[in-house]
Amino acid sequence: MASNEYTLSHQDVVKAVIIHQDIHEGFWTLNIQFDVAAGHAAQLPDPCLNVTIKGIGIMRASPTDPFAIDAAIVNPPGPQHVEGTVRIAAGVNGTQQGGMQFCRDVYRSVAVQSAAKAPTKRG
């Protein structure tokens, strides 16, 4: 059963935004924007101060900032595509239909690629 409340530290919020926004480099820290308004409430004889949160996000930070999170560690970039490598893609539909055929096709593809790039001896 899901919990009714999740509490995150400020560093966990920064990590979540880094991953959600697909950021892979730089140091980031939490940024909270406040609206502040002074006023007088009818129920209180003294002046009041209303503070509301206008926005929550992240902003770039110095690497020396003790609260900074390194995006390269939290959300490292994926592997780069290299030309000439074998690319294998399979549709996942939750069944095992065609599983052996897929294996045969992959084996043939790898065998053909390997044969085409076989090293030759120079003599």
Q: Could you read off the pLDDT of 6-49 as tens digits, one per residue?
A: 888 899 999 999 999 999 999 999 999 999 999 887 888 888 88
Same domain, 62 and 101: no
3, part of any domain: no
Same domain, 68 and 104: no
Whole-angstrom distance, CA of residue 114 vs CA of residue 116: 5
1, part of any domain: no
pTM, two decimal places: 0.57
43, part of any domain: yes
Whole-angstrom distance, CA of residue 9 vs CA of residue 32: 14
Domain that holds residue 106: 81-90+97-117
Same domain, 35 and 60: yes
User: What is the model's pLDDT at position 21?
Assistant: 92
Element (H, E) at 115: helix 99-116
